[in-house]
């Protein structure tokens, strides 16, 4: 039997940074991942994830984001690898709708630099956008995107260099806790540890007792398209964007075209619709997007970025794990004292937090507390 200080169950987004923080602190850590690292079956595939600070979802996230930005800079400067790309972010929507209202509220509360652009300023600075009359436009200069696969690989490489053991293609079947010892059974072996951290993404409901009824996994569709005028959407020209469409509950968002020689495939301009998609079992996902899902994205381009579409390059799928209030769960698992830590339900907006969640989870497991304000993400708000 192999014994560790901490086992991290699931080495995707949150698990990779957690393994890194634990190993950096000299812990004997085992990371268990059912697939390769990274992979395209969970929540982290697809080249890019928006990072922003004026958080429309809730101002309480801002202190965590401030720390996340610091930690992204820290891992970049320690390794000499770039994972954060500042492009700025253009927000558009009705003043009283959730996006613009929420961005303003967080920006005011935390004095985040936000520019307000008139329609004519938007047209002259960003002629690729066609913003409807009556929509308000805000611009966050310090926002941009993170490269998820590269960030995960970087954290895992660093974790290993500090002595972490990371096992891939090894699936955790079950775990138990008896007399303060945690046993983890996989499809290959049996391990024990003092502390268990569960970062299982879309599979969290299957491996965390009591959580399944509070988590809904949905299949999301991402498109890479070839614009009619690609020069308008190149990385140096174009910001990331989020548009709160008044006729529907969700938001459209997109990225500049990322050069293949630097970012790899797929080529083209990426966009998606931020709203829970088709409910799915993570082990049986229909990976074929429907014509309707594709058309929803193309119509948004015709409406808001008319030079942004000539043909679809490729469509892919990815999974959200949604909580009822769309806020994360980061806490000790109730009824397991402080021996089991969980991080789940990132509801389609978690990646930008990876660098701070790794620090928080490592602190919870090793010190029994974190100095960062995560009370609003407690597990007790759901019935476990």
Ligand X SMILES: Cc1cc2nc3c(=O)[nH]c(=O)nc-3n(C[C@H](O)[C@H](O)[C@H](O)COP(=O)(O)OP(=O)(O)OC[C@H]3O[C@@H](n4cnc5c(N)ncnc54)[C@H](O)[C@@H]3O)c2cc1C
Sign of CA dihedral 234, 239, 240, 241: negative
CA–CA distance, 49 with 52 (Å, rounded to integer): 10
Q: Binding of ligand X at residue 171 (CB under 6 A)? A: yes
Single out the residue of 203, 252, 273, 304 in contact with ligand X (rule: CB under 6 A): 203
CB of 337 to ligand X, least distance (A): 23
Query: Roughly what angle, to the nearest 10 degrees, separates helices 62-79 and 148-161?
Result: 60
Return the residues of window 145-164 that contact ligand X according to CB under 6 A.
none
Question: Dihedrals φ, ψ of 69, to 5°?
Answer: -60, -45
Beta-bridged to residue 136, according to DSSP, are 93
Exactly one of 71, 128, 199, 366 binds ligand X (CB under 6 A); that residue is 199
Instruction: Give the nearer residue to ligand X in terms of CB position, either 121 or 295.
Output: 295
Q: Is 208 one of the binding residues for ligand X (CB under 6 A)?
A: no
Asked whether position 320 contacts ligand X by CB under 6 A, the answer is: yes
9 versus 19: smaller Cβ distance to ligand X: 9
201: its two tokens: 């993404």
The DSSP bridge pattern shows strands 136-140 and 144-146 to be unpaired
Stretch that binds ligand X, among 67-75, 87-95, 124-132, 350-358 (CB under 6 A): 350-358
Pairing type for strands 311-322 and 216-226 reads: antiparallel
Number of chain positions touching ligand X (CB under 6 A):
36
Burial class for 173, CB neighbours closer than 10 Å (0-12, 13-18, 19+): exposed
Binders of ligand X among residues 219 to 278 (CB under 6 A) are 220, 222, 272
For ligand X, the closer of residues 9 and 27 by Cβ is 9
Among 22, 49, 258, 360, binds ligand X (CB under 6 A): 49
* 71 makes contact with ligand X (CB under 6 A): no
Say if residues 34 and 142 touch (Cβ distance below 8 Å).
no
Q: How far apart are CA 142 and CA 146, in angstroms?
A: 12
Q: Does 10 bind ligand X (CB under 6 A)?
A: yes
Sites of contact with ligand X (CB under 6 A): 9-10, 12-15, 32-35, 42-44, 46, 49-50, 171-172, 199-203, 207, 220, 222, 272, 318-320, 346, 348-352
């Amino acid at each position: 039997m192999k014994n560790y200080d901490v086992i991290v169950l699931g080495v995707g987004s949150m698990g990779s940074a957690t393994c890194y923080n634990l190993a950096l602190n000299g812990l004997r850590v085992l990371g268990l991942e059912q697939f390769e690292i990274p992979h395209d079956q969970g929540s982290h595939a697809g080249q890019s994830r928006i990072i922003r600070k004026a958080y429309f979802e809730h101002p309480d996230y801002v202190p965590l984001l401030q720390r996340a930005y610091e930690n992204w800079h820290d891992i970049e400067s320690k390794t000499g690898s770039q994972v954060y790309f500042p492009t700025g972010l253009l927000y558009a929507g009705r003043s009283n709708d959730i996006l613009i209202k929420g961005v303003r509220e967080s920006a005011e509360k935390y004095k985040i630099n936000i520019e307000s652009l008139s329609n004519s300023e938007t047209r002259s600075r960003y002629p690729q956008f066609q913003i409807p009359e009556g929509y308000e436009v805000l611009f966050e200069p310090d926002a941009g995107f993170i490269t998820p696969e590269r960030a995960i690989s970087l954290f895992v490489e660093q974790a290993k260099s500090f002595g972490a053991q990371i096992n891939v293609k090894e699936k955790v079947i079950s775990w138990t806790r008896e007399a303060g010892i945690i046993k983890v059974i996989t499809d290959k072996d049996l391990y024990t540890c003092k502390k268990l951290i569960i970062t299982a993404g879309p599979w969290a409901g299957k491996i965390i007792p009591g959580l399944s009824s509070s988590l809904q996994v949905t299949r999301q569709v991402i498109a890479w398209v070839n614009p009619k005028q690609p020069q308008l959407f190149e990385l140096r020209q174009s910001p990331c964007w989020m548009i709160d469409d008044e006729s529907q509950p969700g938001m459209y968002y997109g990225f500049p075209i990322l050069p293949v020689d630097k970012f790899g495939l797929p080529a083209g301009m990426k966009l998606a619709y931020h709203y829970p998609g088709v409910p799915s079992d993570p082990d049986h996902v229909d990976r074929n997007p429907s014509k309707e899902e594709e058309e929803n994205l193309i119509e948004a381009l015709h409406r808001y970025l008319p030079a942004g579409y000539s043909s679809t390059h490729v469509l892919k799928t990815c999974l959200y794990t949604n909580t009822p209030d769309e806020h994360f769960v980061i806490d000790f698992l109730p009824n397991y004292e402080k021996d089991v830590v969980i991080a789940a339900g990132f509801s389609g907006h978690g990646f930008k937090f990876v660098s701070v969640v790794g620090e928080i989870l490592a602190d919870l497991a090793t010190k029994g507390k974190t100095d960062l304000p995560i009370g609003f993400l407690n597990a007790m708000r759901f019935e476990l």
